[in-house]
Amino acid sequence: MKKVLVAYFSLTGNTEKMAQFIAEGVRISGQQAVIKRISDIKTIDDLNNYDGYIFGSPTYHRDITETVKTFLFFARKGNLAGKLAGAFGSYTHSGDAPSIVFETMEYVYKMVPFKLSSFRLKDDVIDTTEGMRACHDYGRVFGEEIEK
């Protein structure tokens, strides 16, 4: 069984819900998923030793937040190169954050980009069956890809 870390920031809880559904999807694929708020990742040991990483960030002012930026600088010290990378986040209109995070994972950390790329979901669909399914699918396919 492979181990996937789903690490996220969420101000008002929307991206947090996505994190939980995505982790469920990873588990549906038969892999282990650990969910952490990025504020709870304090040492490199908290970050290392996973087989794959899915980072979550909402979009504020067409950007990732300062908390996420600080985390991304910190995470460059991790042993992430060659690991499978995914990124997600909720948004209302522009949804820039997931692709910003995903690009950092691919180009800066030299991780392997997940074939479904980054994943963003409008905040008004997260609580619908369709929204939950979309998150489950993202996590499940990630779990299937990491097995290969």
Ligand X SMILES: Cc1cc2nc3c(=O)[nH]c(=O)nc-3n(C[C@H](O)[C@H](O)[C@H](O)COP(=O)(O)O)c2cc1C
Give the footprint of ligand X on this chain (CB under 6 A). Answer: 10-15, 58-62, 90-95, 123
Strand partners, 121: 90
Q: Minimum distance from CB of 19 to ligand X (Å)?
A: 9
Q: Minimum distance from CB of 96 to ligand X (Å)?
A: 6
Residue whose CB is less far from ligand X, 25 or 95: 95
Pairing status of strand 52-56 against strand 3-8: parallel
Question: Under a CB-based contact definition with an 8 Å cutoff, are residues 82 and 99 in contact?
Answer: no
Residue whose CB is less far from ligand X, 32 or 67: 67
As a whole number of Å, the CA-based R_g of the chain is 14
Q: Minimum distance from CB of 63 to ligand X (Å)?
A: 7
Residue whose CB is less far from ligand X, 77 or 122: 122
Burial of 50 (0-12, 13-18, 19+ CB in 10 A): buried
Residue whose CB is less far from ligand X, 13 or 30: 13
Question: Under a CB-based contact definition with an 8 Å cutoff, are residues 14 and 22 in contact?
Answer: no
Q: Minimum distance from CB of 8 to ligand X (Å)?
A: 8
